[in-house]
């Protein structure tokens, strides 16, 4: 897939969670244009690296699904960078994490998160939650015109 065709960026370092998320999106036929970044640094490089193959990725993204507990660059740092850049601040960012910590929730919203979802532990609930997120952000949500 051409990176500039992606409309979902999944930022997830846990391979099992990434696979479950991709499976849930596939059930909704929403998995064709998903890119996966395995850490915060890779996500930022995909979104912002000028002259790299990820240049312009931000132009077509409809949603970023962002874990908080990431190696190299934390999810909160990624969120802050996305929401402080004029060209990316309108991209919806859904924090999809295992952390129910009030401080993480508060800081995520203060930094501009559009939604905060704690990953359900039970498999069926996890799949259902991700499928609903994908359907909402890709099919129902209206984005501002270019």
Domain 3-140 classification at class level? alpha beta
Give how far the C-alpha of residue 109 lies from the chain's centroid of Cα atoms, to the nearest Å.
Answer: 15
Q: How far apart are CA 134 and CA 28, in angstroms?
A: 8
Specify whether the CB–CB gap between 22 and 133 falls below 8 A.
no
Each of the 146 residues of the chain gets a pLDDT tens digit; together they read 445 566 889 999 999 999 999 988 888 887 778 889 999 999 998 888 655 444 556 677 889 999 999 999 999 999 999 999 988 999 999 999 998 999 999 999 999 999 999 998 898 898 889 988 888 888 888 877 66
Annotated domain spans of the chain: 3-140
pTM over 0.75: yes
């Amino acid at each position: 897939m051409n990176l500039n065709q992606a409309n979902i960026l999944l930022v997830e370092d846990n391979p099992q969670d990434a696979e479950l998320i991709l499976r849930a999106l596939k059930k909704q036929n929403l998995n064709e244009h998903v890119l996966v970044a395995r850490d915060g640094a890779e996500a930022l490089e995909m979104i912002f690296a000028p002259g790299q193959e990820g240049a312009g990725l931000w132009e077509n993204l409809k949603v970023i699904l962002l874990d908080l507990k990431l190696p190299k660059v934390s999810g909160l740092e990624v969120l802050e960078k996305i929401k402080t850049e004029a060209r990316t601040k309108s991209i919806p960012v859904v924090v999809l994490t295992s952390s129910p910590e009030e401080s993480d929730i508060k800081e995520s919203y203060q930094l501009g998160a559009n939604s905060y979802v704690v990953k359900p532990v039970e498999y069926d609930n996890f799949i259902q939650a991700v499928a609903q997120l994908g359907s909402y952000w890709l099919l129902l949500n209206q984005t501002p015109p270019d």
